[in-house]
Amino acid sequence: MRATRACTAIGFTLIELMIVVAVITILGSIAYPSYMSYATRSKRSDAQQLMQEISLREGQYILDARAYTASLGSGGLNIARSGWTCTTNCTSPNYTISVAVNPDTTTPPFYTITGAPVSGSGQANDGTLTLTHTGVRQRLVNSVDKGW
């Protein structure tokens, strides 16, 4: 008696591959916008943390100099942070942070820290961040406050 073996094909059918591709496409279309939103919030948080550090240092600076300073680099607040270049302003690929102080003749002294998104970056539509000497925080998107 002769033993027979069934010949079976090993592999995937075209339908099975198309189903897998469709499932991966659906998952990707859901995950990508969530990832981009997360990345935008992360970059905004980095700018906000730097702005809060500047505010803290301005508070220390006024005790010594009796005035605020607009210089963020050496000779001013001496801000040094990874990913940022600080001289008169602090810049990164996503934001430019600057400080505007009142003239010396105005009392009481005040400052406003502004974080402007770099045009062409992923943050361009995320709005402009502001932080004042009184602690007021804003994120303006098309002249509408969207919250810090």
Chunked mean pLDDT (size 10), the chain, 148 residues: 62 90 94 92 96 95 89 90 93 96 80 95 92 95 89
pLDDT at position 95 is 96
Domain that holds residue 139: 14-145
Domain-located, residue 2: no
- Within 10 A of 31 (CB to CB), how many other CB atoms are there? 10
In a domain, 8, yes or no: no
What total number of domains does the chain contain?
A: 1
pLDDT computed for residue 32 by the predictor: 92
pLDDT for position 82: 92
Prior bond of 33 cis (ω within 30°): no
pLDDT at 75: 84
> Is residue 4 one of the residues assigned to a domain?
no
- pTM of the entire predicted model: 0.80
Establish if 117 belongs to a structural domain.
Answer: yes
Q: Which two tokens stand for residue 133?
A: 């000497």
Report the C-alpha gap between 31 and 148 in whole angstroms: 25
Note whether residue 71 is domain-resident.
yes
Q: What is the DSSP-derived secondary structure letter of residue 114?
A: E
pLDDT of residue 46: 96
Q: Which residue intervals of the chain are DSSP H helices?
A: 14-65
Amino acid at 60: Q
**What is the C-alpha radius of gyration for the chain, rounded to an integer number of angstroms?**
27
Q: Walk across the sheet containing 137-141 and list its strands.
A: 85-86, 90-91, 95-101, 111-117, 128-132, 137-141, 144-145
Per the domain annotation, does 3 fall within a domain?
Answer: no
Structure tokens at 111: 């400052």
The first and second tokens of residue 132, run together, are 């004042």
Pairing relationship of beta strands 111-117 and 144-145 according to DSSP bridges: unpaired
Residue 136 pLDDT: 95
In a domain, 58, yes or no: yes
Residue 6 lies in a domain: no
